[in-house]
Structure 1
């Protein structure tokens, strides 16, 4: 007898292929889960349509980050007048999305909460109490790394938590490398914010550029920290060695990675923010290049130290300088195939299979 397809409701205020972060994870996950369940989205889908999915709320306008909280509120208000008891299970992109189920549904179906790291930090007392209530009444948690799981275990020791890494798009074809003469190119692809540690990479390049004038550092991405980085680059007179590329398209991003020899993102933990995993390291690996990360947050889940990259301490310019130099001199060399294979372990299909096993027992 054929097994009945379960009705799954996914709640997310933003699902997108190109915006990045959690929205990107949800996009690839929903595409795969739709093949094995009757899937409905409560939330907003940007960029592209998803086949075989019912969307309860639609968003056709341009994505605006300042609208993020308003979208969540709209989901909560929408849920007051709806009955979700027909769904077998509910997957919430974050604990705040679960408010729609935990408080506005008299007969609520079992709900599962995805946990990413940042949302567990620096909250007010009332927000923590609200979060505790929602988490304690959930069926299970899905953490994006062992670090995030450990944080959950400390906060909610009786709550079951499974680790499932975020997916990446492994269907991307590696672009041909563009000629760059004899230059050694280091790259960072990231939002430009202090926590990403780009300032330490700039300082390391400042030291190395005196010995290796052919060293180039390309910083891809936009953000509020750009002005600070511009001043830092100017103070070291590194305009010929360091390029602030700015925001780029998905295709341009992978071309930048394909043109590079080494990816660097020395993130560090702050009071209110942490790298819960680090998809950017895997995207670099997908292009066959090794990475340098830190022993911070969930980064050790994304980087296999000594195989797909190297892990160093937070804010350690000396270690960063020495490690980059070893790559320049080929004292450190990693197999491109190993890097690519590790990236493929995070295909949306493989990640979705793990969710299917946890949610539906498939």
Structure 2
């Protein structure tokens, strides 16, 4: 059988759930059935991408650098690339990529297009909503990771629910490495014997990190131990604001805010993992923490309550509510039995999100659509 030539596109490969997902898709899709190519459309940030490109060795990769919607030169370059390569299928992540490829697809043969909606975008601009609605008519399938995103996007953009398919985010359930926890803590500036409550997230409004930081004084005031420290790892435009807030609350000695690093290096030292998001799809970081057996406290938003049940796989807190967050975190800190129980339940739940099962389902959609178009 002739291989199906498929282009995976995204803005760039900055640290985030969508970026992690597209890398897993490109790496793990069956190379005997598909000929994948990865394409990024926008310039990269200042981060170190060496590990990312190491993962993608052997995968054809095309990089563009759109400077804005009126960058005619980049539009022409992408159009020429698509016309020349004659892809059978396009698979796009995030709005900018979805928009550019679906628009150009009108001029390169109207190939099957699959797009991913990764979140509940309550503040999406009106013209983006209109564009999504228009393009939906010639989109093969819109993938979402939860019922919450499906319902919200369908209602927001007035798109039939039959156009959507739920594909929960996968996680790699690979064997956990034996990290030197003491060494990692030392490198981060944490005492070796510390009990660590942590979060790994982009420093943006969506992640609700100010609410987490404001919960810390309440926690420190109420808990009956003095070995608890807090760690927030990530990057983003709110970094200065978060550090200023930590100083204002005099948390310098108990809260560390550190640059982005691989979550697999952070999870081994965490005793509690926190998701403080104001809105979400299905956060990969939370699933990875669950798979690793780190007890989770998460806000009750988006697709989170679909996989984490309060008191079973973790603790749910109200969004935009530091009191609710602090209450959940205190429960986790003070109950060894609770942490053990939710850790075991969360590990069991995470097994249903295996990467091979996800890839098989994704391939099935691609193959069925390709065959339907080429009868």
**TM-score, length of structure 1 as denominator length:** 0.81
d(CA) in 2 for partners of 1:338, 1:36: 37
Tell me what 1:219 maps to: 232
Q: 2:353 aligns with which of 342, 346, 355?
A: 346
Tell me what 1:272 maps to: none
Tell me what 1:9 maps to: 6
Deviation at residue 187 of structure 1 after TM alignment:
0.3
CA contact (8 A) 2:290 2:347 kept: yes
1:303 is the counterpart of 2:308 = yes
d(CA) in 2 for partners of 1:295, 1:70: 39
Q: 2:274 aligns with which of 259, 264, 267?
A: 264
Tell me what 1:134 maps to: 135
Q: Secondary structure at the match of 1:325?
A: helix
1:254 is the counterpart of 2:264 = yes
d(CA) in 1 for partners of 2:354, 2:76: 32
Tell me what 1:25 maps to: 21
Tell me what 1:124 maps to: 126
Q: Secondary structure at the match of 1:355?
A: helix
Deviation at residue 259 of structure 1 after TM alignment:
1.0
Deviation at residue 183 of structure 1 after TM alignment:
3.2
Tell me what 1:324 maps to: 329
Tell me what 1:283 maps to: 288
Tell me what 2:151 maps to: 150
d(CA) in 2 for partners of 1:14, 1:182: 41
Gap regions ≥5 residues in structure 1: 270-274
- What do the CA deviations read for 1:179-225 (whole angstroms, capped 9, x no partner)? 55653210011112233122222222201213433221111112222
Task: Kindly tell me the number of residue pairs found equivalent between the two proteins.
Answer: 343
CA contact (8 A) 1:9 1:40 kept: yes
- What do the CA deviations read for 1:216-269 (whole angstroms, capped 9, x no partner)? 111111222222222222222222211112233x2xx42322111100121113
- What do the CA deviations read for 1:136-189 (whole angstroms, capped 9, x no partner)? 211211112211111233220264211112233333624346255653210011
- What do the CA deviations read for 1:312-331 (whole angstroms, capped 9, x no partner)? 21122222222111112216
1:48 is the counterpart of 2:66 = no
d(CA) in 2 for partners of 1:10, 1:308: 37
Q: Secondary structure at the match of 1:175?
A: coil
- What do the CA deviations read for 1:254-300 (whole angstroms, capped 9, x no partner)? 2322111100121113xxxxx22211111222321011111212322
CA contact (8 A) 1:209 1:241 kept: no
d(CA) in 2 for partners of 1:138, 1:69: 21
d(CA) in 2 for partners of 1:90, 1:156: 20
1:189 is the counterpart of 2:186 = no
Matches within 5 A, 1:57-206: 57-58=62-63, 74=74, 77-80=77-80, 82-83=82-83, 87-94=87-94, 96-98=96-98, 99-103=100-104, 104-105=106-107, 107-117=109-119, 121-125=123-127, 127-154=128-155, 155-157=158-160, 159-171=162-174, 173-176=176-179, 178-179=181-182, 183-206=194-217
CA contact (8 A) 1:84 1:108 kept: no
**TM-score, length of structure 2 as denominator length:** 0.79
- What do the CA deviations read for 1:12-33 (whole angstroms, capped 9, x no partner)? 13564x7333121111011222
Q: Secondary structure at the match of 2:23?
A: helix
User: Which protein is richer in helix relative to its size?
Assistant: 2
Q: Secondary structure at the match of 2:320?
A: coil
CA contact (8 A) 1:11 1:41 kept: yes
RMSD: 3.3
Moved more, 214-223 or 180-189: 180-189
d(CA) in 2 for partners of 1:296, 1:203: 19
Q: Secondary structure at the match of 1:220?
A: strand
Cα pair distance change 1:321/1:82, threshold 3 Å? closer
